[in-house]
Amino acid sequence: MKIKRLLQSFVLSLTLLSAAFAAKPPVTDDYLVDEIRSKLASDQIVKGGAIEVEVHDGAVVLKGKVEEERQKDKAEKVAKKVNGVKSVKNEIVLSRP
C-alpha cells in the first residue's frame, strides 16, 4: 500500500510539474514588439536597421528604411515567425544613396 501511495504521489507531482512548464504566459503586444525587435537586431541580413515595430492586437506594422530589398523581405519573414503574430504589414522603404 505504501508503494501504491508513493507511486500515485509521484505521478501526481509529475503531472502538476509538466502542467506548470506547459503553461505559457499570454502574448501581449509589448512582448511581441520586444521579441521582434530582438530578432531583427540579431539577424545577419537585417542587422537591426532603422526599423520601427508597431503591434496592435497581434497585427504587426514594420516601418523605416533599409538599404536593400532583401533586408525588407527578411524583416517581414522574421516578424511573421514570432509566436503570437497574426499578420504583418511591411511599410519599410528602400533608402537610396
Q: What is the domain partition of the chain in residue ranges?
A: 25-94
Residue 63 contacts by C-beta under 8 Å, 6 or more apart in sequence? 51, 52, 54, 91, 92
As a whole-number percent, the residues of the chain with pLDDT over 70 amount to 72
Give the CATH fold of the 25-94 domain.
Histidine-containing Protein; Chain: A; (3.30.1340)
Task: Give the pLDDT confidence of 54-70 residue by residue, as tens digits.
Answer: 999 999 999 999 999 99
List pLDDT tens digits, range 13-40: 667 666 666 556 678 999 999 999 999 9
Q: What is the pLDDT of residue 14?
A: 64
91 vs 4, residue with greater confidence: 91
Quote the pLDDT of residue 96: 72
